[in-house]
Amino acid sequence: MSWRLLNDHGLDIYSNLAMDEAIAKTELRENNTLNTIRFWRSQLAVVIGRFQCVHREVDLAYCRDNSISIARRFTGGGAVFHDLGNLNFALRLHQSHPYVPRGLKELYRAFIGIVTQSLVSLNIPAKFDTVGSCIRIDGRKISGTAGWIKRGVSFIHGTLLVDSDLDMLQRCLTPPERQQSYLRDKTRIRCMDSKHDTVTKISFEVENGPSSDEIQAAIIETLEETAGATIKEGHATESEIDTAQALYHSQYTQPSWNLGTPATFAP
């Protein structure tokens, strides 16, 4: 079996991000040619990219007052909003398979292209944006993606705004001026800012549109056609679970990782 489906039902953002990193990085060896597609959702959260500064991306007071978690992922890219109206996906791909690209741009084009194709098969007028490596409907963004490549593994994960609260998204991702600033670590002050964009959601753009489950099924079907393989539901390995738990405790639940170090100067 060259493909595995992971359907994770836990809604904790920190656990989910830890598992994404674990499936990307655990057992990076040449003979581990298993490919994985993982789907998950989370409760209210904002997730920023590895190289971002939280005070330039997030309204910290609004998130605190509304019990919205703030988390940092291990990949780059911009800030995204999560709620139960999101469908999140992750792909762990071994480069020994001929359809797995070795470069990030090519990876986005191939596999975010597959997600786009799946949406189109459900009569969603989605288009892959080759410049932004994202998915749009009528020019408006419905996805955010990020990737990581190392030691023969290509990894990509992303979000789909199926029926998210766009008003809350806008509030979370509009940082006020002069809020507390944070360094990404004790020395780095350079921030990779998100690219401002207009977003929408599938349920707003498509009358009687498909559910998240129907979208998930379409993505699996398109992947199977591309790979010429059957994707069977499986489980995380013991090593992946151990790695995820270690990352959860040492990294993803730590304010020093998610927020950074409070700065003593104005932003």
Token pair in block for residue 250: 């040492």
Closest alpha carbon to 223 in 66, 116, 79: 116
- Both tokens of 216, joined, read 């998930």
CB 77 within 8 A of CB 65: no
Cβ pair 126, 209 in contact under 8 A: no
Give the pairing of strands 69-72 and 45-48.
parallel
Domain range list for the chain: 3-257
pLDDT confidence of residue 176: 95
By CB neighbour count within 10 A (0-12 exposed, 13-18 middle, 19+ buried), where does 11 fall? middle
Query: Cβ of 264: how many Cβ atoms within 10 Å?
Result: 7
Q: How far apart are CA 206 and CA 108, in angstroms?
A: 24
| Sequence-ordered list of residues with C-beta below 8 angstroms from that of 144, at least 6 positions apart, any chain | 77, 78, 80, 134, 158, 159
Residue 183: what pLDDT? 85
Matching residue, tokens 């060896």: 29
- pLDDT value at residue 267: 46
Q: Report the alpha-carbon distance of residue 200 to residue 159 in Å, rounded.
A: 12
Q: Identify whether the C-beta of residue 69 lies closer than 8 Å to the C-beta of residue 46.
A: yes
> What residue type is 249 in one-letter code?
H
For residue 108, the model assigns a pLDDT of 95
Q: How far apart are the first and last CA of the chain?
A: 51
Asked if residue 99 lies in contact with residue 110, where contact means CB atoms within 8 angstroms, the answer is yes
Could you tell me which of 33, 98, 36 has the C-alpha nearest to residue 228? 98
Q: Whole-angstrom Cα distance, residue 80 to residue 48? A: 6
CA 48 – CA 62 distance, rounded (Å): 16
Q: Please give the chain's pLDDT, 267 residues, in tens.
A: 589 999 999 999 999 999 999 999 987 665 677 899 999 999 999 999 999 999 999 999 999 999 999 999 999 999 999 999 999 999 999 998 999 998 999 999 999 999 999 999 999 999 999 998 999 999 999 999 999 999 889 999 999 999 999 999 999 999 998 899 888 776 666 788 888 889 999 999 999 999 999 999 999 999 999 999 999 999 999 999 999 999 999 999 999 999 998 887 544
DSSP letter at 68?
-
The architecture that CATH gives domain 3-257 is 2-Layer Sandwich (3.30)
Give strand ranges (E) for 12-132: 35-40, 45-48, 69-72, 80-82, 86-94, 126-129
d(CA 206, CA 204): 6
Furthest CA-CA distance within the chain: 56
